[in-house]
């Protein structure tokens, strides 16, 4: 049985059996799993759009906040190219989507949100974005950053929106080297923001995903978070729950867990 990052208690990995994990990985049955670790006190989640965190990580966020972690969301764009209703003026979309993301965050125990206000659909991993993310990292001072993948997933191309790739690239650059190098973007230090080292990065929608979080118990919170994005009509066909259960069950199968269990998956990168 591979180890898991579960919802029961502050230590997320439950009973790792390293001999059988090594054998399973050797046989190609299971991806590798992360080493044992506790939930950190401060976690920063960087996403390109409102709702990205809820598709990729809201079940995990709920387990972390239940374990006592303080989680901050940093949403780079306002998602102002999103939505389906042509009767809603485009200038109103940003405010609507910020309110929806705030409600979704509350469903998983998060009340600290930062919106950077970049335009949706035109995001680049620019030096300005790297500086802004380095500023947020130095302000929040998280042990863990969660971000989108800068690598495209060819088998799930809709998870690899160009804004996601750009936000992921800028986030990784902000973790290393920008936030930790006191001489990078010297205006940050001049404004009183000391350099900060992030210990690990968890990448969402990554082709290298090999770390699984047990979200079986927090699934209702993830579902509630996604349903808060009313303007995105996330449940317009009434099959959102069914779709989510399918994705999360297939993740749990990749982890080698028994039927009936649900998992979110990440690529975990040591950066500390
Ligand atoms: Zn998105």
pLDDT digits (tens, 9 = 90+) for 100-115: 999 999 999 999 999 9
Longest Cα–Cα distance of the chain, Å, equals 59
Q: How far apart are CA 189 and CA 56, in angstroms?
A: 33
Q: Mention every residue, 6+ apart, whose C-beta is less than 8 A from residue 151.
A: 160, 165, 168, 206, 207, 208
| Over residues 136-156, mean pLDDT | 97
Q: Mention every residue, 6+ apart, whose C-beta is less than 8 A from residue 125.
A: 150, 166, 167, 169, 170, 173
141: left (phi over 0), alpha (psi -120 to 50) or beta: left
pLDDT at 4: 55
Q: How far apart are CA 32 and CA 22, in angstroms?
A: 8
Give the distance (Å) from ligand 1 centre to CA of residue 18.
36
| Over residues 14-31, mean pLDDT | 41
Give the distance (Å) from ligand 1 centre to CA of residue 15.
35
Give the distance (Å) from ligand 1 centre to CA of residue 83.
12
* 149, pLDDT greater than 50: yes
* Tens of pLDDT, residues 65-93: 999 999 999 999 988 887 677 777 778 89
CA proximity to 167, closest of 121, 198, 213, 226: 121
Give the distance (Å) from ligand 1 centre to CA of residue 255.
25
Q: How far apart are CA 103 and CA 226, in angstroms?
A: 10
- Give exposure, 109-148, as e/b (b: 16+ Cβ within 10 Å): bbeebbbbebebeebebeeebbbbbbbbbbbbbbbbbbbb
| Over residues 223-238, mean pLDDT | 92
| Over residues 5-20, mean pLDDT | 40
Give the distance (Å) from ligand 1 centre to CA of residue 179.
24
Work out the percent of the chain whose per-residue pLDDT is above 70: 86
Q: How far apart are CA 45 and CA 64, in angstroms?
A: 12
Residue 190 CA, distance from chain mean position: 30
Give the distance (Å) from ligand 1 centre to CA of residue 192.
32
Tokens of 185: 């973007």
pLDDT at 171: 98
Give the distance (Å) from ligand 1 centre to CA of residue 110.
19
| Over residues 155-167, mean pLDDT | 95
Task: Please provide the size of the chain in residues.
Answer: 272
* 146, pLDDT greater than 60: yes
Q: In which band, very low, low, confident or very high, does the pLDDT at 55 lie, cut at 50, 70 and 90?
A: very high
Answering whether pTM is above 0.85, one says: yes
Yes or no: domain 30-83+94-270 corresponds to CATH 3.40.50.10320: yes
Sign of the CA dihedral 214, 103, 52, 203?
Answer: negative
The average confidence (pLDDT) of the chain is 88
Give the distance (Å) from ligand 1 centre to CA of residue 200.
22
Tokens of 233: 């009509």
Is 192 in contact with 135 (CB distance < 8 Å)? no
Q: How far apart are CA 113 and CA 102, in angstroms?
A: 7
Work out the percent of the chain whose per-residue pLDDT is above 90: 77
Give the distance (Å) from ligand 1 centre to CA of residue 65.
23
Q: Which of 20-29, 88-97, 175-184 has the lowest mean pLDDT?
A: 20-29
Give the distance (Å) from ligand 1 centre to CA of residue 48.
6
Give the distance (Å) from ligand 1 centre to CA of residue 183.
32
- How many C-beta neighbours within 10 Å does residue 54 have? 28
Is 215 in contact with 59 (CB distance < 8 Å)? yes
Q: In which band, very low, low, confident or very high, does the pLDDT at 16 lie, cut at 50, 70 and 90?
A: very low
Specify the pairing of strand 211-214 against strand 263-270. Answer: antiparallel
Q: In which band, very low, low, confident or very high, does the pLDDT at 22 lie, cut at 50, 70 and 90?
A: very low
Q: Which of 21-30, 51-60, 177-186, 212-221 has the lowest mean pLDDT?
A: 21-30
- How many C-beta neighbours within 10 Å does residue 272 have? 12
* 17, pLDDT greater than 80: no
> Between 251 and 19, whose confidence is greater?
251
Give the distance (Å) from ligand 1 centre to CA of residue 51.
7
Query: What are the domain boundaries of the chain?
Result: 30-83+94-270
pLDDT at 85: 74
Quote the strand ranges of 54-180, DSSP E: 70-77, 112-118, 144-148
């Amino acid at each position: 049985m591979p180890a898991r990052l579960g919802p029961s208690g502050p230590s997320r990995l439950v009973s790792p059996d390293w001999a059988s994990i090594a054998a399973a990985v050797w046989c190609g049955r299971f991806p590798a799993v992360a080493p044992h670790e506790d939930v950190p006190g401060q976690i920063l989640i960087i996403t390109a759009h409102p709702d990205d965190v809820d598709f990729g990580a809201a079940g995990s966020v709920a387990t972390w906040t239940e374990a006592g972690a303080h989680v901050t969301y940093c949403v780079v764009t306002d998602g102002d190219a999103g939505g389906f209703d042509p009767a809603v003026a485009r200038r109103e979309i940003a405010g609507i989507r910020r309110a929806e993301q705030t409600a979704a965050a509350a469903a998983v125990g998060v009340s600290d949100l930062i919106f950077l206000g970049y335009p949706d659909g035109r995001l680049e991993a620019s030096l300005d974005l790297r500086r802004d993310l380095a500023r947020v990292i130095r302000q929040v001072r998280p042990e863990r950053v969660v971000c989108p993948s800068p690598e495209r997933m060819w088998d799930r191309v809709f998870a690899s929106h160009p804004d996601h790739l750009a936000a992921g690239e800028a986030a990784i650059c902000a973790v290393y080297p920008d936030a930790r190098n006191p001489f990078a973007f010297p205006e940050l230090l001049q404004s009183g923001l000391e350099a900060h080292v992030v210990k690990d990065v968890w990448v969402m929608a990554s082709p290298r995903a090999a770390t699984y979080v047990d979200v079986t118990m927090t699934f209702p919170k993830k579902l509630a978070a996604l349903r808060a994005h009313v303007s995105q009509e996330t449940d317009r066909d009434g099959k959102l729950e069914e779709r989510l259960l399918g994705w999360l069950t297939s993740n749990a199968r990749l982890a080698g867990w028994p039927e009936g269990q649900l998992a979110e998956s990440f690529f975990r990168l040591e950066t500390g």
